[in-house]
Amino acid sequence: MYAGGIALLLCICFCISLFIYLKGEYTDLACDEFCDQHISAGEELGRHIYSLAYDMRGGVRDLGRLYGRNFEERLDTVTNELVEFESFSHIFYLGSDGMFYGDKGTKVPENPEYIEKAYAELEGLDYEGDDIYVGMRLSAIGSQAEPRIMIVTPVYSNNGIRGYITGIVDTDRLFGSPLFDYQKTRGKCFVVDSEGKILAETASISNEDTESFRESVLKICRDTEENRNALAGIRYALNNNESGYVVVKTKQGLEMQINFCPVANVPKLSYLCCYTPGLQDEMFRPMLFWSVLACIFIMVLMIICLLMVWANAKRINMTVEKLAYEDPVTKGKNLSYFREFALDTMVKSPDTPYAIYRFDISNFRYINESYGHIRADYILESCIRNFEEIFSDKELCVRMNSDQFLALVINDATLEKRKNEFRAAVNADTRSRNIKYPIRFKTGIYIVKKNDHDIDTMIDHANVARKSVSQDTKDLQATYSEKIVDNMRKIDRIESLMHKALTELEFKVYLQPKWDIVNDRVCGAEALVRWCRPDGTIIPPDNFIPIFENNGFVEQLDFYMLESVCSLLKDTMEKGGKVHAVSVNQSRLLLHSPDYVENVTSIIKEYEIPPELIELEITETVFENGREDMIRIVGELKQLGVRVAMDDFGSGYSSLNVLKDVPFDVIKIDREFFAGAADNEEAGVILRKIVDMVNELGKQVVCEGVEYAEQVELLRNMGCSCVQGYFYSKPIPAPEFIERYYKA
Ligand code: C2E
Ligand code: CA
Ligand code: CA
C-alpha cells in the first residue's frame, strides 16, 4: 500500500514534468513552424516583387524612343497591361515635361503642384543596377500619398531620363499567394521599409491607423522596456539583414510573437508577421487538454489498480487470518485466537472475575463410533454456536482438538444458570439430530487470580482439574486446587508403575467368601485385586482402579484377574479340591470393547474349566446409556455358560426395569444400601421386597457388607440365603482362601 502511494506520487510528478516538457517542446515546434513559414513567405514576397519590377521594365523598355501620339498610345497600352495582367493597383507616368498619365486613361494631374514635387522625389531616388526602385512612398501624389510598395522605372530617351513609370503594388494580390495563408489565418502580415514605415499590411494591428510599425505594435502592447528592447532588436537585426522573432507582451498580458525577415532580393524592404496574441497558448490548449485528460486517466487507472491491489491484499489478509484463527470443524475460533483474546480481555477488565473452563464430551468416542463423525462433528459445532448465543461477547469458547474445548467465562452469580442453559441447548440440538446419547461435559475449572498472566499455565491448570474428574462423579467437574495437583502426582506415580507391576505379578488375587447362611457354609467367592508392592505395602483397589478406569489399563488388569482366577480354579480342581463359583469384577470399559465376549470365551476355553464356575460382576451404571447393549452382552455371556451378577444394586439409580429386562443370575445388594436398611425401617421394608422380588424372579440374591450376627439373622429372615462380608471373612490372599475353604 505504501509502495502504491509512492508509485502514485511518482506518477503525478511524471505527469506534471511530462506536461511541462511537452509544453516547451510544443512551443518550440510552433516557433519553428512560424519561422519556416515566415521565411518561405518572405522569399515568395521577394520573388513576386522582383518579377513585377522586371515585367514593368520589359514593358517600358521601348517607350522612351516614341513620340507624340505613338508615345501616348503605347503608354496607354503599357499601363493598362500592367494593371490588368500584373499585380499593380495603379500605374502612373510622370514625365520630365510635366506630363502625368495615370492608369485607366487619367491624363489630368490631380494637383500640378504635387506632380512637380513628385517628380523631384522620383529624381532623387537611388536606382539600382537595373534602374528599378522598389518600396518608396510617393508622398507627393495626392490621395496616393500614403506609404505603398511602389516600383519605379525610369523611361529613357536618347537624351537621358524622359520620365518615370510608377506602379503601386496591389496589397491583396501581394499577399494573395497560398504561402501566406498560414500566416494570414494566425496573424497579420506587414511589409515595412527601412525606416519602419508600413508599406503593405493584410490588416492593421490596432484599430487606429499608424504609419510606423513600431507605433502600431506599441498601441496594443505595454510600453515596457522589454517590449521596446524587442522592437529595437527587430530593427537592429533587419539592418544587419538578419531574420528572427521576438515575443512581446500585450496589454492583456498575452504573449505575441513577431517574426521578421528581409524581403529576399529587394533591398530595404522587410517582411514581418505579428501572430495573434496568446496564439501559442491557444494552439497548445487542445494538446494541454488531451495531456491533462491522459494524465487523469492514467492516475484514475492507477488508483483503480491500487484499490484492487489493496482489496486483494485485504482479502488475502482476511483469509490468512481466518486460517490462522479459525477452527475448520466448528467454524469458531481456535486456540491461537483464544490465547490472544483471553489475555486481552483479562487485561482490559481486571476487575471481572474470570474462569477458564477446559471440557470435553464424556464418551465422545462412543458417539463418534455409533453415529459417525459427521453427526458427531455437528455436536462439536453446536457447542460453539450455543456458547456464542448464551454467553456474552466477553466470553469465548473454542475447540482445541477432537472433543476438547476451552472457554473463558465470567465467574459471576449467573454462571451456573448459563451453564445449564448451554447444556440444555446442546442436548436439544443433539436430540434434534436423532442422537439419543445424552451429552455430558467433563469439565476442569481454573479460577483466574488477579495476577495471572500466563494463559498457557491457566489452561494447563484447568486441564489438570479436568483430568482429575472421574467418570463416577455426578456433575463431572472439578476446580483446580492443590489437592488435585497432589492427586495428579499420585496418579502420575501409579501410572508410571502399573505396567511393570503387571509383568512383575504385583497384582494379587484376594478372595472373599460368599456364605450360605441357610446351611452355614461357604458357597462361593469374589476375587478382589490387591497391589502388593515389593516394599510390602498393599494398595487397596479403590486407590488405583478409578485411575486404571480412566486410562484404560483396567482392561488388561481385569483379564489378568479373570485368567488368574481360572488358573486358580483349574489348579485347585486338579489337586482334587472342592470349588464353588468365583466372581470376578468387570469394569465398564471392558464391556464397551467390541471383542469382550470373545476374549472371555477364549480365556475360559484355555483353562478348560466349567464356565458356570465363573461369575462376572457388572455394575449397573456400566449400562446407564445403553440398555440394548447390556441385554445383548449379558445374553451372550450366559450363552457361553458363565454366571452374570449385577453388582452394587441399590447404589446408583437402580431401575427395576433392569431386573425385568436383563437376564442376570445374581443380584448383589450394595453394602451401603444394605447398611441403611438395617437401621431404617422403611429401607428395611424396601430391602425385604427386593429380596422377595429377586427370589421370585428365580435369581440369586447376595447381600454385601455383612459385619454382624444380627445382620445375618435379619437377612435370613428376609429370605436372603447368600451373604458376603467381614462377619465371615475379609478378602484374603487366594492361597490362604484355598487352604481354608477349598482344600481337598
Ligand atoms: P466391590 O466389587 O463392591 O467389592 C466389595 C468390596 O467390599 C471389597 O472392597 C470388599 O473388601 C469390601 N467388603 C466386603 N465385605 C465388607 C464388609 O463387611 N464391610 C466393609 N466395610 N467392606 C466389605 P475392596 O476389595 O477394597 O474393593 C473395592 C472395589 O474395587 C470393589 O468393590 C470393586 O468395585 C473394585 N475391585 C476390586 N477388585 C477388582 C478387580 O479385580 N477388577 C475391577 N474391575 N474392580 C475391582
Ligand atoms: Ca464386586
Ligand atoms: Ca459390590
Domain of 225, CATH number, reads 3.30.450.20
Specify the range with the lowest mean pLDDT, choosing from 129-143, 371-385, 661-675. Answer: 129-143
Contact at 8 Å (CB) between 709 and 681? no
Cβ-proximal residues to 458 (8 Å cutoff; 6+ apart), any chain: 342, 356, 446, 448, 452
- Residues 57 and 101 grouped into a single domain: yes
Whole-number Cα distances in Å, 108 to 71, 90, 99, 104, 165 = 16, 15, 9, 11, 16
Mean pLDDT over 370-377 rounds to 90
- Residues 249 and 164 grouped into a single domain: no
Query: Between these two residues, 508 and 275, which has the higher pLDDT value?
Result: 508
List residues, by chain if needed, whose CB lies under 5 Å from ion ligand 2: 585, 617, 647
Whole-number Cα distances in Å, 287 to 32, 280, 291, 317, 407 = 17, 11, 6, 44, 69
Q: Measured in angstroms, how far is the CA atom of residue 508 from the centroid of ligand 1?
A: 14
**pLDDT, tens digit (0-9, with 9 covering 90-100), for 716-733:** 999 999 999 999 999 999
- Residues 232 and 372 grouped into a single domain: no
Mean pLDDT over 702-706 rounds to 95
**pLDDT, tens digit (0-9, with 9 covering 90-100), for 65-103:** 887 778 888 888 888 888 877 778 888 888 887 777 776
Whether 142 shows a pLDDT value over 50: the answer reads no
- Residues 522 and 638 grouped into a single domain: yes
Whether 469 shows a pLDDT value over 70: the answer reads yes
Q: pLDDT exceeding 90 applies to what percent of the chain?
A: 49
Specify the range with the lowest mean pLDDT, choosing from 494-498, 642-646, 652-656. Answer: 652-656
Whether residue 3 is contained in a domain is answered as no
Whether residue 567 is contained in a domain is answered as yes
Which residue matches cell numbers 465467574?
411
Which residue's CA lies nearest to atom 20 of ligand 1?
705
What span, in angstroms and rounded, lies between the C-alpha atoms of 556 and 533?
A: 18
Mean pLDDT over 124-138 rounds to 63
Which residue matches cell numbers 440440538?
429
Residue 246: which domain range? 186-274
Best of 470, 472, 514, 528 for a ligand 1 pocket test (most atoms within 8 Å of beta carbon): 528
Torsions phi, psi for 669 (to 5 deg): -75, 130
Q: Is 723 a pocket residue for ligand 1 (Cβ < 6 Å)? A: no
> What is the model's pLDDT at position 273?
93
> What is the model's pLDDT at position 143?
47
Whether 129 shows a pLDDT value over 90: the answer reads no
Q: How is residue 738 annotated by DSSP? A: I
Q: Measured in angstroms, how far is the CA atom of residue 707 from the centroid of ligand 1?
A: 14
Mean pLDDT of the chain: 88
Contact at 8 Å (CB) between 736 and 730? no
Which residue, 598, 603, 601, 531, is CA-closest to 564?
Answer: 603
> What is the model's pLDDT at position 608?
94
Whether residue 708 is contained in a domain is answered as yes
- Residues 194 and 164 grouped into a single domain: no
Q: Is 650 a pocket residue for ligand 1 (Cβ < 6 Å)? A: no
Best of 551, 585, 615 for a ligand 1 pocket test (most atoms within 8 Å of beta carbon): 585
- Residues 73 and 132 grouped into a single domain: yes
**pLDDT, tens digit (0-9, with 9 covering 90-100), for 411-428:** 999 999 999 999 999 999
Q: Is 540 a pocket residue for ligand 1 (Cβ < 6 Å)? A: yes
Query: Alpha-carbon torsion 600, 604, 610, 616, what sign?
Result: negative
Q: Which band of pLDDT confidence, cut at 50, 70 and 90, is reported for residue 22?
A: confident
Q: Among the ranges 32-36, 121-125, 261-265, 419-423, which has the highest mean pLDDT value?
A: 419-423
Q: Is 587 a pocket residue for ligand 1 (Cβ < 6 Å)? A: yes
Mean pLDDT over 460-480 rounds to 86
Q: Is 679 a pocket residue for ligand 1 (Cβ < 6 Å)? A: no
Counting the structural domains of the chain, the total is 4
- Residues 230 and 161 grouped into a single domain: no
Whether residue 286 is contained in a domain is answered as no
Determine the straight-line distance between the first and last CA of the chain, rounded to whole angstroms. 96
